[in-house]
Structure 1
Amino acid sequence: MEGAGVKLHRGFGFGDPEAFDPFLLFDDFRGEMPSDYIKGFPWHPHRGIETITYVLEGTVEHGDSLGNRGTLGAGDIQWMTAGSGIMHQEMPTGNAKGQMHGFQLWGNLPSSLKMTDPRYQDIASKEIPEVTDDDGTVVRVVAGEFWGKRGPVDGIAADPQYLDVTIPAGVKKTFKIDTYRRAFAYVFQGAAAFVDASKPSGVLLEKEVFGQEVNIRDLSGNRTVVRFGSGDEVTVQAGEEGVRFLLISGAPISEPVAWHGPIVMNTREELMQAMQDLRNGTFIRPAH
């Protein structure tokens, strides 16, 4: 439960920040009825991070201390660089059936950008390129480059590749991944088996939600995070109902992390300064 009472599934976060560096937290917020999400995420602060919010169903009305106001609909993206400090709110509303579904990913900022000016952008669904392969595989390119297309989310310190991938039933597909980057998949529809090239024996890497290695015959199903190693490709075998998942990677920052709720800095002293700024009204800094 987060915000004022939003039920969500946390894929990872508030654990070992090195495990998914440069990413800090990943939430899947979905509900079948308004009581699951309607209280939303009222005004709250962020400092030292960037967030990508991806809406699949319903809408999210948002506002921030920069004066931005808007509504994210199905397929839309919100990118926010909190930098030196921002206050914002996110209030979800369901679709015609009362359903709400979306994701939020937190990316860390390196020490050199922790106190950069806040930035913000809304990206409409129609601006996100979609490519279809001959076997029916469909990929929405939210960020980074893939199959000759580049996603509209740009300028993020983690330099992420963020793909929304749909693979039909029974299809086997291989995706290239830069060996320097940290990568994970998040399955949210159907099921599939994932094989990492860094495991030549054919054994899957651990499913973070279970913390154990699994046999190649096992499938990663709904709401499963699969973390990959240092291989340069990932092979996906879709199950009987096909699979839809996010495939996300980014360049590690490899710096100390001091984390308290919505504020992520490098040292405890910087966290204490942020708390003091909140108390004395200096959390929002003038733009440089």
Structure 2
Amino acid sequence: MKVIQQLRAMPTRDGDGVNIMRIADFQRLALDPYLMLDEIRSDDAKDYIGGFPPHPHRGMETFTYIRKGGFEHRDQLGNVRAIRAGKVQWMSTGRGVIHSEMPLADADNGLHGFQIWLNMPAKDKMRHPQYQDSGTSDHPTLSDGHGQLYLLAGHWQFGNEAADAPLMGLAADAAIADMTLPAGKQSQIELSQYKLVALYLYQGQLLLPSGSHINAGSMLLLDPQYPLQLQAGTADCGMLLLAGNPIGEKVVQMGPFVMNTQAEIMQAINDYQSGQFGEIV
């Protein structure tokens, strides 16, 4: 396994005071097609109860994965969906979406989830928005006898098995999975069909072939031409695997808008302020 870069999640707040650990790169685009990963994790409702009241997006995709607790999604397209533990939601915002994401009142015992932003190629940024979630669909789990891969998006091969996740068709052929590896165990996965591979460790300690280690809250940008050789430390490991193919286009970002030029950003702001995004009914 060849590590290209190591990143560390930083604390911030978003929405109505929600505490988040965030990794973002809108300038160097080292994670292209991925732009940002937010982790929300707390057993204290004060850290997330304000949620994310109605707000707009244009030109990007949001991918939400809940491990504990839940959110209710609402948008101007008429979608009202509860996203609970083990489920995912994908929104390709295209030319414009207004949505809200609020904690579920009946989801006890805290919240743990992720929202990932993906860029969209210029040719798709003004298409009609799309929404999908895994709902009642099953999420396949693949295993090599040690590690387990819980499929969230895209096509995966692991051990002697292969399967499709319930969500397909993300921008840039993106594939996302949740991998767990018991303490002291080793596992290997091949992802050379992609040009971008990253790993975000949210639990445990991962030992690297160099003899060093990383702790939870770290992301590794990896060379996809080398197999991922994963070894857990003295505690069980949990990690998100992110794969895809870079879009390779300039990004101009302002808040919830991700376009290719400053002029397109200003147009997005004008369109939103003039009511062209619609509203949540």
TM-score by length of 2: 0.88
**Structure 2 residue 27 is matched with structure 1 residue 16:** yes
Q: Which amino acid aligns with 2:114?
A: F
Q: Which amino acid aligns with 2:268?
A: A
Q: Render the CA deviation track for 1:127-171: whole Å, top value 9, x for unaligned.
A: 211123323x21111122223111111111221121111111212
Q: Work out the CA distance in 1 between the residues paired with 2:174 and 2:194.
A: 12
Higher relative contact order (CA 8 A, sep 6+): 2
Conserved in 2, the CA contact under 8 Å of 1:49 and 1:83?
yes
**Structure 2 residue 128 is matched with structure 1 residue 141:** no
**How many residues get paired?**
263
Q: Render the CA deviation track for 1:96-155: whole Å, top value 9, x for unaligned.
A: 6531010001110000000010010121375211123323x2111112222311111111
Q: Render the CA deviation track for 1:182-217: whole Å, top value 9, x for unaligned.
A: 11101111111245xxxxxxxxxxxxxxxxxxxx32
**Structure 2 residue 172 is matched with structure 1 residue 163:** no
2:188 corresponding residue in structure 1: 174
Conserved in 2, the CA contact under 8 Å of 1:76 and 1:124?
yes
Pick the aligned partner of 2:114 from 103, 106, 111: 103
Matches for 1:1-288 after TM superposition, within 5 Å: 1-10=13-22, 12-93=23-104, 97-124=108-135, 126-135=137-146, 137-147=147-157, 148-178=162-192, 180-195=194-209, 216-284=210-278
Q: Secondary structure at the match of 2:270?
A: helix
Write 1 or 2 for the structure with the bigger share of strand: 2
Q: Work out the CA distance in 1 between the residues paired with 2:93 and 2:21.
A: 23
Q: Work out the CA distance in 1 between the residues paired with 2:143 and 2:223.
A: 27
Shift of 1:174: 1.4
RMSD: 1.8
Q: Work out the CA distance in 2 between the residues paired with 1:165 and 1:25.
A: 19
Conserved in 2, the CA contact under 8 Å of 1:58 and 1:100?
yes
Q: Which amino acid aligns with 2:192?
A: D
Q: Work out the CA distance in 2 between the residues paired with 1:141 and 1:180.
A: 16
Mean Cα deviation higher: 123-132 or 79-88: 123-132
Q: Any gaps of 5 or more consecutive residues in structure 1?
A: 196-215
Conserved in 2, the CA contact under 8 Å of 1:6 and 1:40?
yes
Q: Work out the CA distance in 2 between the residues paired with 1:119 and 1:277.
A: 19
CA separation of 1:131/1:125 partners in 2, compared to 1, >3 Å: closer, same or farther?
farther
Q: Secondary structure at the match of 1:8?
A: strand
Q: Any gaps of 5 or more consecutive residues in structure 2?
A: 1-12
TM-score by length of 1: 0.86
Q: Work out the CA distance in 2 between the residues paired with 1:126 and 1:68.
A: 17
Q: Secondary structure at the match of 1:142?
A: strand
